[in-house]
Structure 1
Amino acid sequence: MYVRPRIILVENHQKKDGKYPVKVRICYLRKTKDFRTPLSLTKEEYVNAILPNPPKKYKEIRHQLDALTAKANEVISCIENFTFQKFKDGFYNIKKESSNVYSVFEEFIKMKLVSGCYKTSVNYNTAMESFKSFRPLLNFYDVDTQFLFKYQDWMINAKGKSETTVSIYCRALRAIINYSISKNYLKKDFEYPFGKYKYQIPGGRKVKKALTLDAVEAIFNFQAKPYSMEDRAKDFWLFSYMCNGMNVNDIIRLKASNIDGNMIRYHRGKTFRTTQSNRPLISISFEEEIIIIINKWGNLNPNGDDYIFPILDKNDKNDEAITKKKELFTDSLNKHFGRICEKLEFQNPKITMIYARHTAATVLKKANIPIFQIQESLGHTKPETTKNYLGDFDDDSKIEVTKSLMRFKKAV
């Protein structure tokens, strides 16, 4: 978008000496802003100075006006993604004490590591490296709407990444900006680039991750070689599903102390930094099929502080070590469960452990279980998160909805 400065005389603001202030007017995206200059002129001086060939007595004034235009054009030419604030900073030579984005990223990552959030620190580091590849040097005042749209275009068209990846990385950058604002690293003139009529982070493509009950039945009846890796993958997928979609992180952290009579009760590992009173307690009926899997792959009678499944050791205190063990275990389960899906000739052979959680939520939804109860079963603190887990109804259900609307027609 072309930006052109104009020199104007502000005739509605006469000074005591009878002169009027001269300003630089900038028009951009149908918005206009005027910027003051140290120059003041009478109407006669201004009118004669802007003539194509001004009289000799006004030529010096013309040189001053031309110098202002030249300075404005020079500032504009140095701005990659124009904003009025950037023009103001350059025109008045305002030196910003803006922090480097990556230094704050690193500060935030260290904070997460110290608090034991190893996985989160890895995710933010990955996002930071992506932005570094796009722009090796980046200050907060460079992060505007145009920058974000260019980054999104570069990621999708040049790097071949998905909108989901762009969404994850941009949410990380937004968190860093919010963190910087909370720490007063940014001044009040910082233009927040996210939100309505600004850059809106893409939602990403929503992939259906819920299986039908027929598919769950096929998995349950699949005959794997006893105690093989496929047998283990099958059992842990079903364990997750039958335990209200318990994720792998919580499965490997289960202890004997979580067994309460005929119930399993636990807090999600993901929420252990949440205020204690806000942490939902998840309760699961201790059904026979669940007991069989625990007896097969774990130990129902350990000491209270021992893990039920031998994935973690009670001496594992470091979050990094726990995360790596969890990821190795999850990768193994996904790999061998994928082979089961191929043998069952599922249309999507890349079904992973997370599908058990989505399937459990969707089955409960189709059974008309209230959403607040599904939310409690999944351990979500917000109903919006639960809604994201709930799969769409299948075509048969949608056809039935339409037929219900047509029942006003009398049978012929």
Structure 2
Amino acid sequence: MATVNLFFDTRATTENETVRRVGIIKIAVTHNRTKRLYTTGIKTDSDQWQSLPKKGEKLDSRVKDEKRLKLYADIYSMPNGFYRRAESIVEALGANFDFEAFKDAFDNWGIEKKVEAEKTDLLSTLSTKSETLLKNGQVSHGTNFGALSKSLQRFIHTLTKSECKEYGLSVGNPRNPQPLKLEYRHITPDFLKHYEEWMLHEGKASRGEPSQSPKSKPKGVSITTVSIYTRALRTLFNEAIEAGIIKQETYPFSTRKGSTKYVIPESENIKKALSRTDIDKVKSYQPEPDSMEQRAHDLWLFSYYGNGMNIADLCRLKQNNLTKDYIHFERAKTKASNKKKPVIISVKINEVMARILSHWGNLDKSKNAYVFPFLNNSMDAAQQKQTIHQVIKMTNKYMKRVGEKLGIEGDLNTYAARHSFATTLQRTGAPISFIQSRLGHKKSSTTEIYLAGFEPEQESKFLSEL
């Protein structure tokens, strides 16, 4: 274990100080036969040095000289005297002692290490997070974090002075000249509850219309948007705790209903799956050949038969995802979070899917070419997202018309294809674990959201057994 001693260093004194026998008191630390000196910054003469106890022994009670008493206190007082702090550091480091760690602790003794301001600045963190995700091609997530930042800034500008004071904020309205600053410490359960209420009533961002006019009525967002934004905030808190930026006790979220902390709202689960009868209607429908209606109908069927593959993944399929009888792919939505353990989904290509591939597939069959000719390798992530959005929009537009022609109630959209795939498997008796693997979900609870329940005739059959 390292040892601590005092050292009187006269080497750096001036000629005049040498004559007066002046030196600097330093802490000498010895470890594994190596000695290092650490200055206390205290200059004194040799007489004072000679009278100073060298190992913390008590000073003679008869000593009345103020200089000697002060020197003794500066070196040996508990716990901040230079000798005492050195002893404490050595003891704390124990078997892990090294001179670099000792120097850092000795130089910064009594100074609380503060986390860099930019790491506690939530708006700055949101901006960095958004830029990083967008750069990595995760356009949806990146856009959400950017939108959250703007939403929080709009919310803060609506707060009164008393509300700002309550949350510890230094800015309450646009006329306040102070720069807007939001830190993790400001996000309390009460802040989040207030933010949710504001979002539901007036949190919708304007899109160029004169909604800033005093006469215009504010519009709220959906509970789903509230959930998306607050889950994004929760993600930042989890990352900040893991990085040691904030402490666990400051965490404002809870999953337990009735908790005094903030519970993220769950959007109402509106069942999107079709009945068996409606699915059969869609299958047997004959659209006009080579029309946009046929393309929409075929993409819907491809999604349905393809393990409920969403249109974004369908558009991103490449030739190297195909084998003779199967499609093997990884969901774009979860790809970034599954880097260590990729979840590969395998889809058996049936006759309907094979026909669709033959009819609408890309003529370029090289390994890196896209299966469907919606995307190309020259597009960046933003262009791909925009194209996929347009494909989904047009598919939903024409499938809505198909649904009206067939008398199907509800939206016959791309979501319905994925939900209907899951629910059809459930109704045939497939276990949730099997459906979960087909959909590529990490948790069975996510899969359960997709399941619409049983057909009326099945319910009657089960209940008749009571």
Same fold at TM > 0.5: yes
Report the counterpart of residue 40 of structure 1 in structure 2.
none
2:185 aligns to what?
A: 141
* Deviation per residue, 1:59-86 (Å, 9 max, x gap): xxxxxxxxxxxxxxxxxxxxxxxxxxxx
2:355 aligned with 1:295 = no
Structure 2: distance between partners of 1:187 and 1:293: 54
Q: What are the equivalent positions in structure 2 for 1:140-219 lying under 5 Å apart?
A: 140-158=184-202, 159-187=219-247, 190-196=250-256, 197=259, 198-219=261-282
Query: What's the CA shift for 1:274?
Result: 4.2
Q: Which amino acid aligns with 1:119?
A: S
1:260 maps onto 2:323 in alignment? yes
Cα 1:189–1:380 shift into 2, 3 Å: closer
Paired letter, 2:133: K
Matched letter for residue 247 of structure 1: N
Q: What is the SS of the residue equivalent to 1:265?
A: strand
CA distance in 1, matches of 2:191, 2:292: 47
What letter corresponds to residue 104 of structure 1 in structure 2? T
Give, in whole Å, the separation in 2 of the partners of 1:214 and 1:395: 12
Distance between the aligned counterparts of 1:299 and 1:140, measured in 2? 49
1:127 is aligned to 2:171: no
Which sits farther off after the overlay, 300-309 or 168-177? 300-309
CA separation of 1:191 and 1:234: change in aligned 2, threshold 3 A: closer
Q: Secondary structure at the match of 1:284?
A: strand
> Which residue matches 1:270?
333
Aligned counterpart, 2:452: 391
Q: How far 1:314 sits from its partner (Å)?
A: 2.9
1:8 matched to which residue of 2?
A: none
C-alpha displacement at 1:345, in angstroms? Answer: 2.4
Deviations 1:122-149 (A, max 9, x none): 1122222222221144332221111111
Structure 1, unaligned runs of 5 or more: 1-94, 407-412
Partner of 2:390: 328
**Aligned length in residues:** 309
Distance in 1 (CA, whole Å) between partners of 2:310 and 2:278 is: 19
- CA RMSD, Structure 1 to Structure 2 (Å): 2.3
1:1-34 per-position Cα deviation (integer Å, ceiling 9, x unaligned): xxxxxxxxxxxxxxxxxxxxxxxxxxxxxxxxxx
Tell me, in whole angstroms, the C-alpha distance in 2 between the residues paired with 1:247 and 1:326.
11
- Cα distance, 1:398 vs. partner? 2.6
Q: Please state whether the residue corresponding to 2:231 is helix, strand or coil.
A: helix
Task: From the superposition, tell whether residues 191 and 239 of structure 1 become closer, same or farther in structure 2 (CA, over 3 Å).
Answer: closer
Alpha-carbon distance change, 320 to 222 in structure 1, aligned in 2, over 3 angstroms: same
On the 8 A contact 1:233/1:336 being kept in 2, the answer is: yes
Shift of 1:202: 0.8
- Quick one: higher RCO (CA 8 Å, sep 6+), 1 or 2? 1
Alignment of 1:42-81 (within 5 A): none
2:381 paired with 1:360: no
AA paired with 2:449? N
* Contact 2:134 2:143 (8 Å CA) reproduced: no
Indicate if the aligned counterparts of 1:143 and 1:193 stay in contact, CA closer than 8 A.
no
Asked if the contact 2:271/2:451 (under 8 Å) is kept, the reply is: no
Provide the rounded CA distance (Å) in 2 between the counterparts of 1:268 and 1:214.
29
Displacement of 1:234: 0.7
Tell me the percent identity: 33
Q: How does 1:111-122 map to 2 (within 5 A)?
A: 111-122=132-143
Return closer, same or farther for 1:120/1:191 CA change in 2, 3 Å cut-off. Answer: closer
Per-residue CA distance 1:103-129 (angstroms, 9 max, x = gap)? 111121122123321221011222222
Partner of 1:50: none
Deviation at 1:217, TM superposition (A): 1.5
Once the two structures are TM-superposed, the CA of residue 277 in structure 1 deviates from its matched residue by: 5.7
- Provide closer, same or farther for how the CA distance between residues 188 and 376 of structure 1 changes in structure 2, counting only shifts above 3 A: closer
Q: Distance in 2 between matches of 1:222 and 1:251?
A: 22
Query: Which of 412, 433, 436 is equivalent to 1:375?
Result: 436
Q: Which has the larger Rg?
A: 2
TM-score, with length taken from structure 2: 0.62
Deviation at 1:344, TM superposition (A): 1.9
2:321·2:327 contact (CA, 8 Å) conserved in 1? yes
Equivalent position to 2:412, from 337, 342, 351: 351
Tell me the SS of whatever aligns to 1:264: strand
Deviations 1:371-393, CA, capped at 9 Å, x for gaps: 22211211222222222222222
Match of 2:121 among 100, 104, 124: 100
Shift of 1:358: 0.7
**For residues 414 and 282 of structure 2, what CA distance do their matches in structure 1 show?**
13
8 Å CA contact 2:271, 2:450 repeated in 1: no
Q: Could you say if the C-alpha distance between residues 292 and 105 of structure 1 is closer, same or farther in structure 2, counting changes exceeding 3 Å?
A: same
Q: Residue in 2 aligned with 1:239?
A: 302
Point out the more displaced range, 134-143 or 238-247.
Answer: 134-143
The secondary structure found in structure 1 opposite 2:345 is strand
* Cα distance, 1:172 vs structure 2: 1.2
8 A Cα contact 2:273 2:423, kept in partner:
yes
The 3-state SS of whatever aligns with 2:327 is: strand
